[in-house]
Each structure stands twice: as C-alpha cells, then as structure tokens.
Amino acid sequence: MELYHNQVTRAQGSFSLRMFHRSWGIMMIQANISAPCAVLDFPTRDEFTRELTAHHYNIVGISSIIVNVGKVREMCRMIRKLSPHSTIVVGGHVAAIPGVEKMIDADHIVRGEGVSWMRRYLGEDENAPIQHPPIVSGMRTRIMGIRLPERKGATAATIIPSVGCPMGCNFCTTSAFFGGKGKFVNFFESGDDLFEVMQQMENELKVHSFFIMDENFLLHRERAMRLLERMKAAHKVWTMSVFASANAIRKYTMPELVELGVSWLWMGLESPRAGYSKLNGTDTRQLTRELREHGIRVQGSTIIGLEHHTPDNIVSEIEHAVSHDTDFHQFMLYTPVPGTPLYQQMSEEGRMLKDVDYADVHGQFKFNFKHAAISRDDSKRFLDWAFWRDFEVNGPSLYRIARTLLTGWKRYKDWPDERVRERFTLEMQRLSGIYSSALWAMERQFRKVDANVSEQIHDLREEFKRESGVISRIMPAFLGPVLLWTTHREERRLAEGKTYEPPTIIERRNWAEA
Ligand code: B12
Ligand code: SF4
C-alpha cells in the first residue's frame, strides 16, 4: 500500500519516502450512491468478519487489482459463509483476469468504470453529476525514521478528474481497462468543473496542494488553461502533482506550467528506443532538466525488459535513465498484464509463462513472460540494479527535491505573477529549515558511503543557508543531529525486517437512514 517505497524509492533505505494511500475507487463509488454504504479500507480478517456479522448488507462490493485475486477469493468465501444473503460484486482491475469467474465466487464481476455501474444496479441516475469525496492523498508519511505529523491541510488532496488514458500504450492496464486507445471516462469535463471541485476540497480539507489522479492530465490543454484562468482570477496559490506524457508536457511553456502550479510531474521515459508515440521527437533528458530548472520536481518512469533489451544493452539503457537525474525514478519490468494489447500479443505468441502466481505479477519481481534475450532471474537482477544505481549516482530523492525547490525559488522569487512568488516563498518558508536539517544529517550519513554525494549535499546546504531566513539557518544545529539519530535507528529497524502496515479505516455514509 506504499507507492514510493514499493516502486520508486525502494533502494533508498531510511531515506525512502513512505506513505499509504486510501482506496480511491470505492471512496468514489460510496460518494456517488444514495444507499447507506460503508467503506472498509485495509480490512483485517477479524474486522471484515465483525462488519459482515454486525450489519445486514444487501451488497458486498470488493475492489481489487490483479495481484490481490487470492484475497478476493478468500473474502468471497467468507461472505458466503458469514453473510449468505449478500450479493457479491467484484470490481477494479482484477476483473480483467481471463476466467476470473471461475477463480472467485462472485455474483457480478464489473469491468471498467464502477460509479455508473453501481448507480445503474441500484436503480439510481447513472448520469447524475459526480460528487467528489474529500480524499487526503497520503497518510502515515515517514522519512529518515520519523513519522510526519498529520496536520489538517498539510497533505495534498487527491482529485480524480478522469479514469483511463487515450494514448493506449500497449502495456498500459489503466488505459486498456477503461476502453483502450482513444477512450477514457471524464468525471469533470471542463476547467470550470475542475476549479469548482478543487475549491470545494480546499474548503473542506484546508489544502492548497492537489494530487491530480488523471493518467495524462496535461493532454487536455483546453481544460488545464481554463483552470489556470480561473485560478488567476480567484488568486489561487495552488500546487499540483500531475501525471503527464512528454508529448503533452510539450504543449505548454515552462512558465505556463509553473503558473498552473505544477510542482511535481510524473512522466514515462520508458526507453529512448521504444517508439511510443507519446515520446516522439522529445529529448527527455533536456525536458527533465528544463522542468527541474523551473522548480518542477520530476518523477521519471523507465521500463526494464522491453523487447529490444538484451544483457548487452540493458546496462547502458539503465545508465541513460539514471543520467536524467530526476528527483524520483520508478523502474518497472515490462509486464504483459491481462486486458492489455501486450498480453493479447504475448498469449498469441505462446510466450506467457504458465506457473506464475498472479500475486507476483506487479512489475517489481520477475518477468511473467518469455523474453527473447533476458532470463526471468536476470530480469530481477537488472531491475534491482537500476534502483541501486540511481541511488548511487544521484543520491537520496529528498536531497534532489530540496535542490529542485531551491532552483525554482531562485528563478521565480521575483516573478511578475504574484501567485507564483507567493507559492515559492511559502514553500521556502515551510521547508527550507527542515530541508537544511535533513541535508545536514544526509551529508554526515554519506561521508562514509560516498564522499562525492556528501560534498554535493554540503554545497546545497550552504546555498540554502544563503537563501533562507534566520530560523531556517539555525534549525539544522538542533534538528540535524536528531534526524541523523533517527536515520540510524531506522536503518537498524529495517535491517531487522521491520515493515509498516496501513491502519484499518471504516467510513459510513447515509448511515442514519439505515
Ligand atoms: C493509487 C494507486 C495505488 C495505491 C493503492 C492504494 C490502495 N489503497 O489500494 C498504491 C500506491 C499503494 C498502489 C500500489 C500498487 N499498485 Co497501484 N495504482 C494506483 C493508481 C495510480 C490509482 C488508482 C485509483 O485510485 N484510480 C482512480 C480510481 C477512481 O479508479 P479505479 O481504482 O480503477 O476504480 C474504478 C474502477 O476500477 C471501478 N472499481 C474499482 N473498485 C471497484 C469495486 C466495485 C465493487 C466496483 C463495482 C467497481 C470498482 O470503479 C472505479 C470508478 O470508476 C492506479 C493507476 C490508475 N490510474 O488507476 C495504479 C494501479 C491500480 N496499481 C497497479 C499496481 C500493479 C500496483 C502495485 C502492484 C505496484 C507494485 N509493483 O507494488 C501495488 C499493489 C498494492 C496492493 N497490494 O494492492 C496497477 C494494477 C494493474 C492491474 N491490472 O491489476 C495500476 C492499474 C497501475 C498500472 N497501470 O499498472 N497503487
Ligand atoms: S501515456 Fe501513460 S497512462 Fe497513457 S496509455 Fe501510455 S502508459 Fe498508459
């Protein structure tokens, strides 16, 4: 249930950014039906049992992705035993598994968008406007052995403008699940709709930053530019973390992105030789450099094990990925997942491996198909090496995001648009003391590991000193040693096999009428 630690910062030890995310699909469904409804997130077996026996549920819906099909099977078994009158509905990506009907005991298996399905099933108006639930994007955030305090408004709100992506890359399950190439489902069509929903979340959750959960947010330029107009008119100093493909980013100038508040951008780099249309003609190294120079944190994503990869060229492809020096870098194995064109092709070619457990099909372990040149075991070696290499060359992501913030601040602190100035000033005020303290600890931690990285961290710390106010300048003397101590403690804990689990959460809606 951790995005960064699972697939982005997993080799960064105590510097790994760790946090949990709620199950947004079922939160979305709950907010858009009028029936009494409970969402039980991260259930333990005991809590699931208690919920099924303490209440009379007509319908029990289960949301799952493919890796968790074994859990779905067990949950269906428990429902049949403990709540035999309930209708079982299973939705989410798990529904794409061929023959899933025979693997689990459910009454309905729903493919694609779930809000309209559930409304239809309950006899409600499936075309009614979408109500967006208030979603805090992450919880129980930890880094350097410290759990960050959870203050209202401190964590971004998640906004889900759409599901699916029209680009239709052959391996992409999110695109395939909602219709594939050329198709997607929009919840909020226009920039005005989006502005209203963001303003509503700002009021409810007291946030100014948003995690925009749209596979390719910047692709829809008209919507984004209208949103910018409204933000300017209402003097909104908002920031946004978005996903976008290189071709979509290219539709904007850097100042446009900055004025829109884009502060974190997740971009597929895949491979320079992959031939995906979204990358056509883009020098991704130059693009990432440019984005970072404008204070936009870049999260790159690279695929390991594409068709053209061989043991001879993969090392240089990984080096190429690492040379982007992105703030964060995700590496994923090329993985044919049921429902995608790639899966279809591999199945037809007889290249899908038969005995791979679905629980292992997530791109962070080993291939689930026969690659022309790379063995299954080697796929894991190359993947692990990519994470390690990125960390070795570029240092902790925390250092990198601190660097990007400072670069952005230096560039935009005197920018004509007051909202932009205000944003960078606020970020610097909020973070410079904390970042400087973290850099103090990192610098010492890395002295023994890599003197080069330690020196770079030192230089950045000095720069922060010059650009920060008095409090931020003196903070590292106190907070730095504490962070160094918690970092060492966390390293010890991790070495002993410590793992973190999300809490179980129950949320009831329309419950009084039940
Ligand atoms: C947020 C997220 C996470 C969070 C999950 C938090 C959580 N509590 O589950 C984190 C970061 C932890 C995560 C982890 C992983 N994830 Co993830 N994640 C996503 C992401 C980016 C967004 C999901 C989301 O909320 N979408 C928006 C909502 C509205 O859409 P939705 O969930 O699909 O729900 C809609 C329908 O599917 C349907 N629906 C969903 N549930 C139900 C239930 C019922 C009853 C009904 C009727 C309908 C229904 O209705 C909803 C509204 O339309 C997606 C990519 C994406 N854009 O969707 C990947 C994605 C779901 N993750 C994926 C993967 C592979 C993983 C990991 C295995 C990665 C890894 N290697 O570690 C882990 C597995 C974690 C686990 N043990 O389950 C894949 C799933 C592939 C597949 N085909 O199964 C996806 C699709 C990304 C991708 N393209 O590869 N993930
Ligand atoms: S651009 Fe990204 S989200 Fe869209 S289809 Fe390709 S991989 Fe999927």
270-297: per-residue pLDDT in tens? 777 777 777 777 789 999 999 999 999 9
Contact 67, 358 (CB under 8 A): yes
Cα(514)–Cα(74) distance, rounded to whole angstroms? 27
Give 136's strand partners: 157
| Residue whose tokens read 């090392």 | 315
Contact 314, 343 (CB under 8 A): no
Nearest ligand to residue 110 Cα: 1
pLDDT at 277: 73
Ligand 1: which residues within 6 Å by Cβ?
Answer: 1-3, 6-7, 21-26, 28, 61-63, 65-68, 89, 91-93, 96, 110, 113-115, 117-118, 160, 163, 172-174, 213, 215, 337, 362-364
Least confident stretch, 83-87, 166-170, 205-209, 402-406: 166-170
Give 355's strand partners: none
Give 242's strand partners: 265
* Cβ of 245 less than 6 Å from ligand 2: yes
Contact 38, 83 (CB under 8 A): no
For range 390-394, the mean pLDDT: 93
Tokens of 173: 């399950």
Mutating to test ligand 1, I would choose from 5, 32, 93 the residue with most ligand atoms within 8 A of its C-beta, which is 93
Cα(505)–Cα(496) distance, rounded to whole angstroms? 28
Could you tell me the distance, in angstroms and rounded to a whole number, from the CA of residue 174 to the centre of ligand 2? 8
**Average pLDDT along the chain:** 94
pLDDT at 280: 74
Cα(317)–Cα(375) distance, rounded to whole angstroms? 17
Percentage above 90 pLDDT, the chain: 88
Nearest CA to 92 out of 76, 69, 59 is that of: 69
Could you tell me the distance, in angstroms and rounded to a whole number, from the CA of residue 268 to the centre of ligand 2? 8
pLDDT digits (tens, 9 = 90+) for 338-374: 999 999 999 999 999 999 999 999 999 999 999 999 9
Specify the higher pLDDT residue, 245 or 485: 485
HEC per residue, 173-201: HHHHHCCCCCCCEECCCCHHHHHHHHHHH
pLDDT at 513 exceeding the cut of 80: no
Q: Phi then psi for 475, rounded to 5 degrees?
A: -55, -45
For range 236-252, the mean pLDDT: 93
- In this prediction, residue 470 has a pLDDT band, given cuts at 50, 70 and 90, of confident
For range 23-38, the mean pLDDT: 97
